[in-house]
Structure 1
Amino acid sequence: MMTDGEKKFLLKICRMYYFDELTQAEIAKKVGVSRPIISKGLQRARSEGLVEIIIHDDAFHTIDLEQQIENAFSVEDVIVVPTAELPPEIAKNALAKEAASYVVKQLKDVAKVGVSWGTSLHSLVKEFPGEHHEHLKVIPLVGGMGSNRIELHSNQIAYELSKKLNCSCESLYAPAIVESEKFRELLLQTPAVSDVLEEARKIDLAIVGIGNPFIRSTMEEIGYIGKEELKNMEQARVVGDINSCFVLADGSIAKNTINERVIGINVEELRNVKKVVAVTEGIHKVDSILATLRGGYINTLITDERTASELVKKLNDAK
């Protein structure tokens, strides 16, 4: 139990340290004790609740979210972009800029970069600065052909990113999803497809999106999936997709779905990539993101503040 005298002493040295901004040595000299006594006194004041340190910083909340997600899953980096007060479109641009800045820093020892497709990656490439990385090659990780929203397809994203990096790129001349498993097998035997997919398996860095096939689905919007496919995925308990590979809530790959008709690198193959960066936003994707994290398919998650807050809330509710 702390005596009144001890409490008064602790409050006195705390005022001198935090308000007068004296060093511990200066305080020790003033009150006539050794510096270690001052150090231990300041620590005790905090542990006893006499001193409470509050950081008034808008970024502190996002740092806390990052740490909670990192602690819950085996990921190297979580980047939460402060967007709580921003309109949706500006928030999306802020996310893209942060993601582009992060990717630039990862290119030092990279020879091959793989990209998937979607609105988040399209925004990232738009915000990407002009760089000179002639040694690099950009490779699409999933098929992407058609006339609808071609700017979102992996081939176009690979091409646009290669222009920003001043490097070469490959094209995967196949749709993301084909009509049958048999046709898929035939395409996989053609050199134009098999050679690119083989290169995709040897990339050093992958940049992927995460999707929810049931809510605001880009795949449905551009005609890759229809009502029958959605019904089958719902019955199979699909919660999301990474690089057009559909997964369940525990992160495992869904069976008996359109996964058997996708031309691209699946999430099991992504695990072999040294660095996999997922860029995604939207609270409707929280279950999809959680499945991706549980599956251990990514090393880095870059998302917005609203999405991260909802993700952490769901994690805490499950405890």
Structure 2
Amino acid sequence: MTETKPAEAKQVAPGRMRRDALTPPAEFAGDAIVWAAWLYYEEGLTQEEIARTLGISRGSVVTMLQEARENGTVSISVATAHLRGVTLARAIMARFGIAECLVVPGDDGRLPDHERVGHAAAKLLSERLRPDDVLGVSWGRTVLAVSQAIPPKLLPGVSVVQITGSAIGTYRFSAEACASNIANRIGGRCIYLHAPGIVSSPEVKQMLMREPTLVEQFRIMSSCNRIIFGVGSVEASSTAFDTGFLSPEEGQPYRDRGAVAVLAGRFIDTAGCVVSGELDDRLIGMTIPDIAQIPERICVAAGHDKAAPIHALLTGGYVTVLVTDEATARQLLDLPERSGA
């Protein structure tokens, strides 16, 4: 669909769609015409059924399907890449039971994986944010790309919360930078976590966690209704270790116990279970059980080493919305199914 842009779809829809019409699911990139075409040509729904699904009149459905034919949306020669992404997204949603999945088509290496996925996730996040949201933000390459690509808009009632403590080695895409970028671009309030990500001993952590400032920051953190995060592998080349946030020596005991994924400094195995260890008593930030309680959990990740970590998070039920790319989606679906905890 190289010639079809979301803006073009909006030229058709505003005059015809009711004010209560539904927003297209993420996998259709916000394009109601593509959504209608998919339901009609791929899922075999009738025009009346599509009208009820989209919250519009049957006449509007007829117009949209006509537009889809005229602009090439349903032409295999130009629509293959988009429909392929939709097929993968729907397969992932069905297999893992998540609410939404957005699969970004490949671009033959013109942009790095994390930038393509970050840009797509930025659009998705911008469309979902509401004035009174409390948004938790992790850190990493892809989350930084999201924070830099969010379209400027005014949402002064939104609180953006840093969910992990600080680390000197993560300056390129630190938790502070990811959170502050998002807050600045939407005009929201940024809540920094004024503590190191890892302290020297459990006693130091216990002492810091009694500080009134941290008590208040964790209180706000507990009210998050959305969160956006990346996920890392346990390899030495992954972001968590490459940046110095974690050392290979600190990660080795977790690898020995089967960990395959790192989320906000915490470790998870292939069955989606949290892998505990000595480091947990020195980490300051949101825990995996804390994350699991947040209603909307958006995972943004792509790359040759991310399929197994994403699979672990999906298996554990820690993701409600996934944004990834086509190659990673295929790898993810090729991995064997595992039962959760």
TM-score (norm 2): 0.73
1:40-96 Cα distance to aligned partner (Å, 9 max, x none):
xxxxxxxxxxxxx9945111221111111111112101111001523352x432211
Spell out the pairing of 1:77-96 with structure 2 (5 A cutoff): 77-83=100-106, 85-89=108-112, 91-96=113-118
Amino acid paired to 1:139: V
2:284 matches 1:274 = no
Classify the secondary structure of the residue corresponding to 1:210.
coil
1:232-281 Cα distance to aligned partner (Å, 9 max, x none):
12212111112222111111111224233211111211121111101111
Taking the aligned partners of 1:220 and 1:113, their CA distance within structure 2 comes to: 26
Distance apart, 1:205 and its partner CA:
1.0
Amino acid paired to 1:132: L
Other-structure match for 2:193 = 172
Classify the secondary structure of the residue corresponding to 2:299.
strand
Q: 2:314 aligns with which of 290, 293, 298?
A: 293
Pairs aligned (count): 264
Classify the secondary structure of the residue corresponding to 2:274.
coil
Distance apart, 1:315 and its partner CA:
3.8
Other-structure match for 2:22 = none
Give the direction of change, closer, same or farther, for the CA distance of 1:94–1:88 in structure 2 (3 Å limit). Answer: closer
Q: Is the 8 A contact 1:145 1:174 kept in 2?
A: no
Give the direction of change, closer, same or farther, for the CA distance of 1:60–1:145 in structure 2 (3 Å limit). Answer: same
2:165 matches 1:143 = yes
Other-structure match for 1:157 = 178
The percent of aligned pairs where both chains have the same amino acid is: 22
Give the direction of change, closer, same or farther, for the CA distance of 1:244–1:105 in structure 2 (3 Å limit). Answer: same
Q: Is the 8 A contact 2:254 2:276 kept in 1?
A: no
Distance apart, 1:104 and its partner CA:
0.8
Q: 1:113 aligns with which of 130, 135, 152?
A: 135
Q: Is the 8 A contact 1:110 1:204 kept in 2?
A: no
Q: Is the 8 A contact 1:112 1:205 kept in 2?
A: yes
Q: Is the 8 A contact 2:137 2:229 kept in 1?
A: yes
Other-structure match for 1:283 = 304
Amino acid paired to 1:69: I
Which range moves more in the overlay, 209-218 or 67-76? 209-218
Other-structure match for 1:313 = 334
Distance apart, 1:298 and its partner CA:
1.4
Give the direction of change, closer, same or farther, for the CA distance of 1:205–1:166 in structure 2 (3 Å limit). Answer: same
Classify the secondary structure of the residue corresponding to 1:78.
strand
Other-structure match for 2:126 = 104
Q: Is the 8 A contact 1:279 1:303 kept in 2?
A: yes
Taking the aligned partners of 1:129 and 1:54, their CA distance within structure 2 comes to: 31
| Structure of larger gyration radius | 1
Stretches (4+) displaced over 3 A? 53-56, 315-318
| Long gaps (5+) in structure 2 | 1-73
| Long gaps (5+) in structure 1 | 1-52
Taking the aligned partners of 2:76 and 2:333, their CA distance within structure 1 comes to: 21
Q: 1:304 aligns with which of 325, 332, 335?
A: 325
Classify the secondary structure of the residue corresponding to 2:305.
helix
Classify the secondary structure of the residue corresponding to 2:205.
helix
Q: 2:283 aligns with which of 256, 262, 276?
A: 262
Other-structure match for 1:63 = 86
Give the direction of change, closer, same or farther, for the CA distance of 1:134–1:54 in structure 2 (3 Å limit). Answer: closer
Aligned CA RMSD, in angstroms, stands at 2.1
Q: Is the 8 A contact 1:145 1:173 kept in 2?
A: no
Distance apart, 1:297 and its partner CA:
0.9
Other-structure match for 1:245 = 266
Distance apart, 1:221 and its partner CA:
1.9
Q: Is the 8 A contact 1:84 1:305 kept in 2?
A: no
TM-score (norm 1): 0.77
Distance apart, 1:109 and its partner CA:
5.7
Classify the secondary structure of the residue corresponding to 2:335.
helix
Taking the aligned partners of 1:58 and 1:307, their CA distance within structure 2 comes to: 15
Other-structure match for 1:190 = 211
Amino acid paired to 2:86: I
Taking the aligned partners of 2:133 and 2:83, their CA distance within structure 1 comes to: 35
Taking the aligned partners of 1:186 and 1:132, their CA distance within structure 2 comes to: 38
Taking the aligned partners of 1:172 and 1:305, their CA distance within structure 2 comes to: 35
Q: Is the 8 A contact 1:110 1:205 kept in 2?
A: no
Classify the secondary structure of the residue corresponding to 1:104.
helix
Taking the aligned partners of 1:203 and 1:135, their CA distance within structure 2 comes to: 13
